[in-house]
Amino acid sequence: MTTSAQATTAPTTTLLVKERLLLWSLAAINFTHIVDFMVMMPLGPQLTKLFHLTDAQFGLLVSAYSLAAGVSGLMVSMVIDRFERKRALLWVYAGFALATLACGLAPSYGALMAARVAAGVFGGVLGALVQTIVGDAVPFERRGQAMGLVMSAFSLSTVAGVPLSLWMASVWGWHMPFFAIAAASVLVWLAAWRSVPLLRSHMAGVSAQPPIEQLRRVLAEPNHWRAFALSMLMLTGSFSIIPYITIYTTTNVGLSQDQVPYVYLAGGLATLFTARLWGRLTDRWGKVPVFRLISLGAVLPMLALTHLPVVPVPVLLVVTTAFFVFVSGRMVPGMALLTAAPEPAMRGSFMSVNGALQSAAMGVSAWVGGLMISRTPDGLVEGYGRAGWLALVATLIMVWWVGHLRLHTQGKAA
């Protein structure tokens, strides 16, 4: 009896170990990808001073990455399901590493802009591929925890990636963080090559149709558009706030440039634990209820941060940490829901289009956020509170809208 039980449980244990290694590799890819995107924002004061940029020009530098990611994701959506997932991931990740290296080598604002566009082209596809592989490889009933682990890369990037990048920038110059990310990507590429399984079951019948047909099928499904709308709402409010946190807190709230890493360290440490917690609660209580709960919880820190006066640093850290915990936290059940919106045969194309729309939402939101704020004669930022009210409206709409999704859960309840 014991031998039989061991024989029965051994394959399951092995499967779970392989799944965990896969998820850690995907989390590492997410880590490098997210640090590459996020590091631009705390470097804002240095870059605006170095290149003599206005706040709107800096917002455009942030937006260029996202908009390029959006365009590339839309184009790739027509063909992504024709390729085996692992091979596609490795090729795209290699391109991302090279583009990030180019960012570090950029000698001017124009060259940096071009390199950021190239990084965005690969980065947008990369994020969609990671989410697609989670959807293909992990059953829906464990997908909340899987997303929590993969998206804990956001937390780790704020705990380690961004503060370490800022330290490198202060010691060796702003180029060094990009060199470090490119070097780390080589090691992560090797780990992914070893741990990501071959995933080709989605390819059946896809190659027989014209590339444009796959995109047409994705766009023709009304439920996909409901999911796309939810996805864009998740990012609309938050990314009118996030790119300008450092600029606002250092000019209006009294935070010194040396204290900026504390914001990301505190927020990252907290979300490193809460991302996994949100994942467990998502699978236990249901994706939709937990998504609504976390989204409503995000409203208060969004409004508090965008209206914050001069306060002691500990108070500021409480507000920014709560912001990171809830704003990033709602992405865990949100992405678990989005991976269940399409049928498996269209998941890669769907996630690519979704990534394109997310990137567009981030880029447009960052640009709108830059237009909302301005400077007073004494150099203070004004108008930041408008971004908080935009986030409130977007949150209330998506809390209602999430109930309209139809999910492919293979018989499992959402």
The CA–CA distances, whole Å, from 36 to 21, 31, 350 equal 23, 8, 24
Whole-prediction pTM = 0.71
Residue 151 inside a domain? The answer is: yes
Give pLDDT, residue 10. Answer: 44
Give pLDDT, residue 204. Answer: 62
Residue 13 inside a domain? The answer is: no
Over residues 157-174, the mean pLDDT reads: 78
Helix axes 331-339, 313-329, angle to 10 degrees: 10
Phi-psi category of residue 83: left, alpha or beta, with phi > 0 → left and psi -120 to 50 → alpha: beta
Residue 202 inside a domain? The answer is: no
pLDDT at 123 over 90: no
Give pLDDT, residue 364. Answer: 84
Residue 1 inside a domain? The answer is: no
Q: What angle do CA 141, 142, 147 make, to 5 degrees?
A: 125
10 Å CB burial of residue 329 (0-12, 13-18, 19+) is buried
Q: Which of 39-53, 56-70, 183-197 has the highest mean pLDDT?
A: 183-197
Task: Write the pLDDT tens digit of every residue in 18-50.
Answer: 888 888 899 899 899 888 887 887 777 777 777
Task: Write the pLDDT tens digit of every residue in 86-112.
Answer: 899 999 999 999 999 998 888 888 888
Residue 15 inside a domain? The answer is: no
As a whole number of angstroms, the longest Cα–Cα distance in the chain is 81
Average pLDDT, the chain: 84
Give pLDDT, residue 271. Answer: 85
pLDDT at 412 over 80: no
Task: Write the pLDDT tens digit of every residue in 302-361.
Answer: 999 999 999 999 999 999 999 999 998 898 899 889 988 888 778 878 888 887 787 778
CA nearest neighbour of 31 among 194, 159, 171: 159
Phi-psi category of residue 254: left, alpha or beta, with phi > 0 → left and psi -120 to 50 → alpha: left
Residue 291 inside a domain? The answer is: yes
Cα dihedral sign, 169-171-172-177: negative
Quote the domain boundaries for residue 116: 20-195+210-404
Q: How many folded domains does the chain comprise?
A: 1
Q: What angle do CA 216, 212, 133 make, to 5 degrees?
A: 80
Task: Write the pLDDT tens digit of every residue in 269-284.
Answer: 888 888 888 988 988 8
10 Å CB burial of residue 17 (0-12, 13-18, 19+) is exposed
Give pLDDT, residue 8. Answer: 40
CATH of the domain at 261: 1.20.1250.20
Percent above pLDDT 70 for the chain: 91
Residue 260 inside a domain? The answer is: yes
Q: Which residues pair with 315 in a beta bridge?
A: none
Residue 265, number of CB atoms within 10 A of its CB = 17
pLDDT at 6 over 70: no
Residue 30 inside a domain? The answer is: yes
pLDDT tier, 296 (very low <50, low <70, confident <90, very high otherwise): very high
Residue 4, number of CB atoms within 10 A of its CB = 8
The answer to whether residues 274 and 148 touch, using CB atoms and an 8 Å cutoff, is: no
Task: Write the pLDDT tens digit of every residue in 191-230.
Answer: 999 888 877 766 665 555 676 777 888 889 999 999 999 9
E strand intervals along 215-356: none
